[in-house]
Copies of this chain bind each other. A is one copy, B any other.
């Protein structure tokens, strides 16, 4: 615990970093994976269970929460932590990304974005100032600057204009956020796959000054190779003494590749969303429990996994639950996936501390290459 927000870099191994973020609500061990709690719940999980998987911090979505139940309502009810019964740190996004992907009738101006809710068509506005206000009302520990992010591929001119707008919004976000001890504001680097634009963006953010820095505008359709290409240089453009957050990433191998390249924090809906569609992630790669090959299989999903799904149930049972449309299917597979993602993070943290990241990474890829166990 700490009265203020502080990042400490504990060790490095190549570009990979081991660290800790102290906040008044607890410590975040980095590299950290943040489960996504879109609508004030990590879907199909009780928060106690999310904590059991090893998560130190959750992500909450400004766009979803502003529409339902509403930021002012959450504030009246004591803030997001209390509302959803999660006392550890929460990072909130700015709403910018989801306005662009979910809302209807968007109008983008220098001031911000007006749009219609995808839930009921009601008219809303998000600006850097309103985004900061919403994130303050929610009570998030780490707020994100309000930005705009084009899907890739996009032409250079579009990426450049968007990045410069986002940098002006970043400065307005910083101004609107003000001085809130114990709370952090992260700036978001943009610039697509253009190295000079990434540098221009990083320079703009550094000149404003943030408590942490995100690499934004990736995992938006460019593919892993292109993403890693940017991560080969982009993190080093950001201050080394602040946490670096890669937004919306990713699959297990994306995560490992990102940490290898100097990323400290990530979030993704993949483990939770996949948990609701019968898809499990394991040391030996993905396993689709819908598949009839599991119907008579008495073995656990992963014999080496300590999560409740693997400790207490057979593949045959998990297959049955999914086929029968049972809620317990989503509950168990989500738990397993979050557990596995946290296990990857813990493994990487240990490996960096021991200066054995390369060996850990090689073993990670070797196990995955083996593929799932043979059918019985």
* Copies per complex of this chain: 2
Task: Tell me which of B317, B323, B330 contacts A83 (CB under 8 A).
Answer: B317
Looking across the interface, which residue of chain B has its beta carbon closest to that of A327?
B44
| Chain B residues, Cβ within 8 Å of A85 | 312-313, 317
Task: Tell me which of B41, B276, B317 contacts A77 (CB under 8 A).
Answer: B317
Residue interface bits A315-333, CB-to-B below 8 A is 1, else 0: 0110011011011101110
Task: Tell whether, in the assembled complex, residue B295 and residue A328 are in contact, meaning their CB atoms are under 8 Å apart.
Answer: no
Complex-state Cα separation, A45 to B77, whole angstroms: 27
Task: Tell whether, in the assembled complex, residue B73 and residue A316 are in contact, meaning their CB atoms are under 8 Å apart.
Answer: yes
* A84 interface residue (CB < 8 Å to B): yes
Query: Considering the complex, which residues of chain A in the window 14-43 have a beta carbon less than 8 Å from any beta carbon of chain B?
Result: 39-41, 43
Task: Tell whether, in the assembled complex, residue A330 and residue B328 are in contact, meaning their CB atoms are under 8 Å apart.
Answer: no
Q: How many of chain A's residues touch chain B, expressed as a range?
A: 35 or more
Task: Tell whether, in the assembled complex, residue B39 and residue A326 are in contact, meaning their CB atoms are under 8 Å apart.
Answer: yes
Task: Tell whether, in the assembled complex, residue A76 and residue B308 are in contact, meaning their CB atoms are under 8 Å apart.
Answer: no
Task: Tell me which of B43, B46, B69 contacts A320 (CB under 8 A).
Answer: B69
Complex-state Cα separation, A298 to B75, whole angstroms: 11
Task: Tell whether, in the assembled complex, residue A39 and residue B317 are in contact, meaning their CB atoms are under 8 Å apart.
Answer: no
Contact residues of A: prevailing secondary structure: loop
Task: Tell whether, in the assembled complex, residue A320 and residue B45 are in contact, meaning their CB atoms are under 8 Å apart.
Answer: no
| Chain B residues, Cβ within 8 Å of A316 | 69, 73, 77, 83
Query: Considering the complex, which residues of chain A in the window 42-74 have a beta carbon less than 8 Å from any beta carbon of chain B?
Result: 43-46, 68-69, 73
Task: Tell whether, in the assembled complex, residue A41 and residue B313 are in contact, meaning their CB atoms are under 8 Å apart.
Answer: no
Complex-state Cα separation, A324 to B39, whole angstroms: 7
Minimal beta-carbon separation of A118 from chain B (angstroms): 13
Query: Considering the complex, which residues of chain A in the window 285-339 have a beta carbon less than 8 Å from any beta carbon of chain B?
Result: 295-296, 298, 308, 312-314, 316-317, 320-321, 323-324, 326-328, 330-332
List 9 interface pairs A-B (beta carbons < 8 Å), by A numbering.
Answer: A43-B327, A43-B328, A44-B328, A46-B331, A68-B323, A68-B324, A77-B316, A83-B316, A85-B313
